[in-house]
Structure 1
């Protein structure tokens, strides 16, 4: 059965272009009410012309024969242009309101002819000649020819019987397809603002060319490559200095000085035209990225489509970890008679993705790093009662019931925790099945913890003395002078904030069907505990004995090498009696150095840690603390941060390279002097009779005694000269010459 809107077509595959092209394309644009007749339009023709012809009419038999004869495919609807379904609101928003006026003007003329019975009469009956003649006599309508009515009516019927059929399908490109000159030397088809005769402009600027657009793009890209802040005004000035000036050489005194003169307006584009095409070449997103930088754009402005709940089963399934530098200065508490600040601390939060419950945190100083992540994760997995007591806060286990090991952990793939340092220990020891790394500055991939930072800063930190939630005027006192919270008190405040947030935040959208049936509270803590029992079989709860295992597991693994005299790690030498007692140093001496796995705290070089099997128990493991070798308490690296040590070792390597270069050059210098002296001596020997003696040289002992006597006399002379006996020294010198002569 044929239907209105059906596409009757014949296509062909072009093997060279590798695409399908239509050979024939027809649309059944109308079916009579008795379903015996069909109006069919040739769409290949209709899409090319403004006024398509009247559709061709077939009865059932004729249409079937036509389809069979032409070999047409059937059964699919014809895809009409998008213009037919676009709303008036969209047209007005895009600034094409004039097309609505034109459409309504045409439709008002044919509206009385679009009734269903009149459309059938026009297509299958006697036509609408009488009705159109009556419209021509109307004083309210402007059209005075039958052809105008026929053209509009044909277009209305062919393109879906909707008023938008009277709009040009190219309405959004009208005025944009003008020929564009390649260079300013070509004929400018389109002038600048005001047209060729400048009816609406007081300037004579020329129109844009393809070369101008390329130059605009190149100037902007060069500006960004040089690392300068984007400014449209400055970029235009750079464009003008490069492409819209002429250089004139003028003689001033004895010097030829280049002067720059702007080209006349007829040979330039205007500032407005530059800005217009700048905005067309670079989108608003690209301009913002150029203005704030790629990293900041991706972090703060890029659209975020990720969802944190992908693949989450329940509470403790995935924890998110992230860090931020707080907008709050911390007071230095150890000087009582003045106010000092320790700077702004770094806050690490660990969030359960399923319930958004805050399960752990760590407050430290310095840039985000793996140590902070490790301490935050240990805190997330352990009971918080003893931890809070350490800072003078007494809570019960039920106040913060977060002491479970997660299945997955998600952190930044940045400098905080490099991939290569995370090994299978998390899986084998803790049962953490995945350690996920998100792309740098992908806050959408860690949306839960990012939102918690915003909440803490917005509701707590920004309302405390010493906060920097706004840009500080230079005339105002710097917030660091107003710091009130010291480290311990700030930790207590963070704990109280977490307890309040976990118990009072509303998470209605986090309730699943079972949670609603069980009528639990809508707080993160309630959702967390309910999901643990219902979805995670109670979760994996930790005990105080698990702390060593947790701390070891979350520190990054690194490699050290056992040498005959030490355990060598990152340029430093460490020692533990275990390696001597077990003969491991001896093994290294006889068979060569070998690697071991160690872990470290990045802020402290004094110790590194490794894990070995206990004596007498092949399965139980113990942890060793290796100490930095510090002979006579003189190690320059004792008690230092690894960042400083790495910098120092790098500096020493550079110093060694520089010293080796100096030594090589000095050796060549000494070689030059030695070879000159050697050549002089060889020249003297060449003048002597040739020596053919095979035995030892005679008189060696005699000449050796003379040499010894000369050394003694020289020493005596130096002593006498030093003690002031110049006369005797001179006399002695003459005696020395005489003795030397007589000796020879």
Structure 2
């Protein structure tokens, strides 16, 4: 092994040499000798030692001496530009005292082998310094790498920085001074070990906890708990109490606890991991290709929406489910609904992530190509909360498609990508809408955001889709350093380009989904009815080619209706999926024209109509007018029955000559209103009818049958 000057060696078992780390100072090949300097001891003056070269070489072969390492102190590892001028002057002065000695190989050999070195004494006398001063500078020079900077002053060790001072009878630090001689200040409190323990207990109990008291109030609790007698005594004597000051409590807070302990104890676990933990890692380190892992999470949108059938009906704040690819940061799935975070809403978002986005965007009036949002795949694994995704339904329905991974409680950092997308959507779009709550930051006196709500669920979803497409096209510097493909292809570091580039190079963990499988597994199940008017669901009617071909509506009219299994897309009323037989796949059925009022609306609007009808049925089970009508009918019925009882005619007499009686009744009631002939108006009479209120006008008689 090569023996290089200034190298460090770990000597373990060499005759005549104490085990430890040594620095190689000089090699004398002509006399087969090495000069080593011990690096273990940092105190006092140490001399180098001489060792036979052959013996050291044998130790190397026997692994009794190995290559070692020695860490230089920070004050030595500084560039010339960083060194303070005053420190550099001290260094240069010290170096000038030993420069002529370290250049003499004979001196180094004599210093390592002889007890008395006359040349050192003469040199010290010439420089006007003590012999020990020169020896100490030589030890420092050899210890710290035989470099000029080794002689820089180590002021960072001065004053016992970072160490607690021993308690003495006199106060540490500057004494308290009075601005005027008229006021006498209290003497400085000397903090003992017992006082430190008291301060520690009070800080942990009152201050270092979530929502704890501030330090001023905590000091008051300290005085009440441990120094009440001193305060009472000082009060009685009219003196200043001898107690710890606020500055002392503040100082010992940072001495008794590390900064990380203060941060952890003052925060909840959720808040610490979300806002205060270190960010040394990167979500893309383990999941470097698209499809390795999708993240799913829900949040309540910071905006109120209204119903499509009446802007006066405020529906509250919808729930947004978002699915994000961890490698590319692209939003691959989206769902907006009025349901709270639940499996019902989550399954709709998963179906959206696994199916093409073109038809989905078209439902909201946005026309895109599949290449504008190419995510229609199943990932290798899905990272989700242990809330709505921990039940039996997700395990049964999703696990056959992909692997579920549940994040620990209070650890939103496990889904950092999707959490960040929520923040970006709020910043870029949602917080700029009318009706927004701005994340709950409502100032007293502000207008109620519900009064400003103007957007329907469909309109809000369309705005959100536009914002998602824009985020997928946004530049992210971190993408450029996570994969070399973007640089090789010379394309912008956007999530969309990252996704496309890796798909084109077959560097992904995605698999295509079968649409029938996704629809049957993930769309919410429901029951529809085959009726004479079509397939009925929520008072809406649907049909398809099979209904027309097999005359199913006619059969239902003749034999009665029957139930069918259905799958519902919560985003639209335009179609549902129906299974006519248990062995068949689901068939898409479109909304009939008689339900056109609900066309192009979310499914919840049909439920709103049903709720509106139910409310009105409950509000008005019968009309007030029907009550008066019933009373009138009853009176007429009683009068007619009474007249019938007074009639003595037989049934045959009642039914005899019905036609003649009908003609007579018509003549008497229709053409002869009054019996006074003088009041009749002849056809050629020019009298103004409008001014004669007693006149009778004869209408043309109908032709006899």
CA distance in 2, matches of 1:306, 1:80: 27
Find the residue that maps to 2:291 and give its secondary structure. coil
Residue of structure 2 in register with 1:233 after alignment: 216
SS of the counterpart of 1:82?
coil
Distance 1:40-1:505 versus aligned 2 partners, 3 A rule: closer
> What is the match of residue 215 of structure 1?
198
Task: Give the C-alpha shift of residue 378 in structure 1.
Answer: 1.2
For 1:540 and 1:176, the matched residues in 2 are separated by: 57
Match of 1:633 in 2: none
Measure how far apart 1:444 and its partner are. 3.9
Q: 2:278 aligns with which of 292, 303, 319?
A: 303
Alignment correspondent of 1:486: 456
Task: Tell whether the 8 Å contact from 2:90 to 2:152 is kept in structure 1 after alignment.
Answer: no
Q: Does 1:496 align with 2:469?
A: no
Q: Deviation string for 1:442-490 (max 9, x for gaps)?
A: 4443333233222212211233333316843323334444334332211
Classify the secondary structure of the residue corresponding to 2:103.
helix
Equivalent pair of 1:382/1:542 in contact (CA under 8 Å): yes
Contact 2:428 / 2:467 at 8 angstroms: preserved in 1?
A: no
Deviation of the 1:155 alpha carbon = 2.6
1:310 CA drift (Å): 4.4
Contact 1:121/1:127 (8 A) holds in 2: no
Q: CA deviation at 1:524?
A: 2.8
> Judging changes above 3 Å, is the alpha-carbon distance between structure 1 residues 150 and 506 closer, same or farther for their aligned structure 2 residues?
closer
SS in 1 for 2:398: helix
**Partners of 1:410 and 1:438 within 8 A in 2:** yes
Q: Mean Cα displacement is larger for which, 228-237 or 82-91? A: 82-91
2:679 corresponding residue in structure 1 = none
DSSP-derived class of the 1:127 partner: helix
In 1, Cα distance between the equivalents of 2:37 and 2:509?
A: 69
Alignment partner, residue 119 of structure 2: 127
| 8 Å Cα contact 2:322-2:349 kept in structure 1 | yes
Contact 2:308–2:456, Cα closer than 8 Å, also in 1: yes
Contact kept? 1:345, 1:365, Cα under 8 Å: yes
CA distance in 2, matches of 1:505, 1:2: 53
Q: Within 1, Cα distance between the matches of 2:370 and 2:351?
A: 16
Alignment partner, residue 524 of structure 1: 495
Q: Which residue of 2 aligns with 1:627?
A: none
**Cα pair 1:318 1:410 within 8 Å, conserved:** yes
Q: State the distance in 1 between where 2:12 and 2:144 align.
A: 20
Contact 2:480 2:487 in 1 (8 A): no
CA contact (8 A) 2:175 2:188 kept: no
Looking at structure 1, the residues matched to 455 and 237 of structure 2 have their Cα atoms a distance apart, in angstroms, of 61
Q: Indicate the SS of the match to 1:54.
A: coil
Q: For residue 485 of structure 1, give the secondary structure of its aligned residue in structure 2.
A: coil
Deviation for aligned residue 1:274: 0.6
Deviation of 1:411 after TM superposition, in Å, equals 1.4
User: More displaced, 349-358 or 218-227?
Assistant: 218-227
1:401 lines up with 2:396 in the alignment: no
Shift in Å, 1:382: 1.9
1:145 lines up with 2:130 in the alignment = yes
Q: What is the match of residue 7 of structure 1?
A: 9
Query: The residue matched to 2:229 in structure 1 has which SS?
Result: strand
Q: Residues 64 and 547 from structure 1, CA distance in 2 versus in 1: closer, same or farther, beyond 3 angstroms?
A: closer
Matched, 1:174 2:160: yes
| Distance in 2 separating the partners of 1:84 and 1:76 | 25
Q: In structure 2, what is the equivalent of residue 464 of structure 1?
A: 433
1:376 CA drift (Å): 1.1
Structure 1 residue 492, shift from structure 2 partner: 0.6
SS in 1 for 2:323: strand
In the other structure, the counterpart of 1:675 is none
Task: Give TM-score scaled by structure 2 length.
Answer: 0.61
- CA deviation map 1:304-348 (0-9, x unaligned): 344333454643343221223333343465544x5x754433322
2:395 is aligned with 1:423: yes
Maintained 8 Å contact 1:306/1:445: no
Equivalent in the alignment of 2:560: none
Shift of 1:546: 3.5
The CA distance in 2 between the partners of 1:32 and 1:263, in whole Å, is 78
- 2:48 is the counterpart of 1:55: yes
Does residue 41 (structure 1) correspond to residue 24 (structure 2)? The answer is no
- Taking the aligned partners of 1:375 and 1:446, their CA distance within structure 2 comes to 19
**2:395 is paired with a residue of what secondary structure?**
coil
Does structure 2 retain, via aligned residues, the 8 Å contact 1:533–1:539? no
SS class of match (1:161): coil
Note if contact 1:362-1:376 (Cα within 8 Å) is conserved in structure 2. Answer: yes
The answer to whether 1:154 aligns with 2:139 is yes
- Out of 25, 46, 67, the residue aligned to residue 30 of structure 1 is 25
After superposition, the CA RMSD in angstroms is 4.8
Runs of 5+ unmatched residues, structure 1: 13-21, 137-143, 182-187, 251-258, 556-599, 604-611, 624-638, 640-744
Task: Kindly indicate whether the alpha-carbon contact (under 8 Å) linking 2:293 and 2:382 is maintained by their aligned counterparts in 1.
Answer: yes
1:416-455 matched pairs, under 5 angstroms = 416-418=388-390, 422-423=394-395, 425-428=397-400, 430=401, 432=402, 434-455=403-424
Distance 1:390 1:232 in 2: 58
Larger CA deviation: 155-164 vs 80-89:
80-89
Q: Which runs of 5+ in 2 are unaligned?
A: 111-117, 526-566, 571-578, 588-606, 608-705
- Cα 1:325–1:426 shift into 2, 3 Å: closer
Are the equivalent residues in 1 in contact too, given 2:322–2:418 (CA < 8 A)? yes
8 A contact 1:511–1:522 mirrored in 2: no
Residue-by-residue CA offset, 1:121-165 (whole Å, 9 max, x unaligned): 5323673555443432xxxxxxx4343223222332244224345
Conserved 8 A contact 1:246-1:263? no
Q: Are 1:548 and 2:539 matched, yes or no?
A: no
C-alpha distance after superposition, 1:242-288 (max 9, x if no partner): 112218999xxxxxxxx988997674222101101112233344434
Alignment of 1:584-623 (within 5 A): none
Following superposition of structure 1 onto structure 2, how do residues 64-103 of structure 1 map, counting pairs within 5 Å? Answer: 73-80=64-71, 82-83=73-74, 85-87=76-78
Within-5 A mapping of 1:304-453: 304-312=279-287, 314-331=289-306, 335-336=310-311, 341-365=314-338, 367-413=340-386, 415-418=387-390, 422-423=394-395, 425-428=397-400, 430=401, 432=402, 434-453=403-422
User: Per-residue deviation at 1:371?
Assistant: 2.8
1:717 corresponds to which residue?
Answer: none
Cα 1:74–1:316 shift into 2, 3 Å: closer
* 1:114 has 2:114 as partner: no
What is the CA–CA distance in structure 1 between the aligned matches of 2:581 and 2:121, rounded to whole Å? Answer: 108
CA distance in 1, matches of 2:320, 2:88: 62
Tell me how far 1:394 sits from its aligned partner: 4.6
Counterparts in 2 of 1:343 and 1:203: CA distance versus 1, 3 Å: farther
Cα deviations by residue, 1:666-694 (Å, 9 ceiling, x for unpaired): xxxxxxxxxxxxxxxxxxxxxxxxxxxxx
Render the CA deviation track for 1:168-222: whole Å, top value 9, x for unaligned.
69817726656645xxxxxx456243269999x9541222222222222222222
Q: Distance in 1 between matches of 2:496 and 2:164?
A: 65
CA contact (8 A) 1:350 1:380 kept: yes
Name the SS of the counterpart of 1:359 in structure 2. Answer: strand
Give TM-score scaled by structure 1 length. 0.59
CA contact (8 A) 2:306 2:455 kept: yes
| Cα distance change of structure 1 residues 244 and 29 upon mapping to structure 2, 3 Å threshold | farther
